[in-house]
Structure 1
Amino acid sequence: GIILAGALSAATTAVIGVYHAGVEQGIFEGPTSCTSSAIDNMSADDLLAQIMAAPLVRCDDIPWQLAGISMAGWNAIVSIVLCGLWLMALKRR
């Protein structure tokens, strides 16, 4: 029921948090819509077109950190803890 749904929701956000933190740290390559790519083989016109079409916020850039951990990292940590709490509640049931 609701306990299992809570555990699955927390696990889902934990996976997303780990992925996003990994993108920020350069462990994973992020989606091309919000990360920069190599510009070695681009013409000036292609580069200008990419710059003009670029989104305002990059997802591989860490805007700020708390205790050296990005908000995506904190999301992963808190979600893992919440998932554990939900699973403990499910086990007690």
Structure 2
Amino acid sequence: MALTLVPKVVPIRNREITQQKLIGAVGKVLAESGFRHLGINQVAREAGVDKKLIYRYFGGLPGLLAAYGDTAHFWPSAEELLGEDCEVAGTMPPHQLIR
């Protein structure tokens, strides 16, 4: 009987996916607990990854927060800023709209 070798399957680790998980976890932790309770352990647990990756990919919590601040999830949408006045904003001159 011939022995067939099956190649060992090595899981592919995707840095970008892990970084996005961590950035998303920051948003979720902030929404649920606020800045006061934001920490490395809580974010890593929420993302389902080892906390060492926060240091490896972002240099620590400040770098991860900066990355979160660079996403669209951090900034309010135009609808959130304008509230119920979206139609009125379309009629305003640019200088008033920016103000």
State whether TM-score is above 0.5.
no
With a CA cutoff of 8 Å and minimum separation of 6, indicate the structure with the bigger relative contact order. 1
- Report the structure, 1 or 2, having the larger strand content: 1
- Who wins on radius of gyration, i.e. which is larger? 2
TM-score computed with the length of structure 1 as normaliser: 0.28
